[in-house]
Amino acid sequence: MVRGYLRHFVPDEEADDLLQIVFLEVWRCRDRLDTSRPFEAWLFGIARKRAIDQLRRRHHEVVSVDAIRELSGEDGDEFVERLAWAAEVRTALTQLSADQQEAIELSYFGDLTQQQIAAKLDVPIGTVKARMARGMRRLAALVDGGELT
């Protein structure tokens, strides 16, 4: 039962070693057992404390290359391309006028409708539409045309 309990905290390969540590401590601390209380509670309390100690002693694990490949694809090109494209878009956004940048950011990052943007900025809806249309055309030209500085 104790081994099964320890497996909730540590991997199977560590459970047997930890079980020995627990029973060694039980033997050494047997004089602390309060017979008016349940033995199982005392035993599992020791097991829990030793499992926590074991987890604290672990060093931070290094992420394997295989795990990274699973996240980014076989060669990582697609992942890297998305990161590069996002960086280009962020750079291009800074080159728009403040009004265009604000309208686009509120729409795409703030998840607001054009009507909500107009209300928030206290401008007519047509102004928001014009700012967004001009901003998106300029953004496309900057990203696709390589006009980034």
In this structure, what CATH number is given to the domain that contains residue 116?
Answer: 1.10.10.10
Do 53 and 82 have their domain in common?
A: no
- CA 109, CA 114: separation in Å to the nearest integer? 13
Tokens of 118: 């107009």
Confirm whether 64 is domain-assigned.
no
Q: Which domain holds residue 89?
A: 78-145
One domain for residues 82 and 138: yes
The pLDDT of residue 68 is 54
Rounded Cα–Cα distance for residues 149 and 141 (Å): 13
Single-letter residue type at 56:
R
What do you get for the CA distance between the two ends of the chain, in Å?
A: 66
Q: Model confidence at 74, in pLDDT bands (50, 70, 90)?
A: low
Spatial CA neighbour of 92 closest among 42, 35, 135: 135
Binned at pLDDT 50, 70 and 90, residue 7 comes out as confident
Tokens of 44: 């599992």
User: Which CATH number goes with the domain that contains 16?
Assistant: 1.10.1740.10
Average pLDDT of the chain to the nearest whole number: 82
65 domain-assigned: no
pLDDT band at residue 45 using 50, 70 and 90 as cut-offs: confident
Under DSSP, the state recorded for 109 is T
- 73 located within any domain: no
Stated pTM of the model: 0.46
Please give the tally of structural domains in the chain: 2
50 shares its domain with 83: no
Q: What is the pLDDT confidence band of residue 57, given thresholds at 50, 70 and 90?
A: confident
Question: Cα separation of 41 and 13, whole Å?
Answer: 25
Contact by Cβ (8 Å): 22, 52: no
Identity of residue 96: L
Based on the fold, state whether residues 31 and 88 are members of the same structural domain.
no
User: What is residue 126's predicted lDDT score, i.e. its pLDDT?
Assistant: 95
Q: Which amino acid is at 35?
A: T
In a domain, 12, yes or no: yes
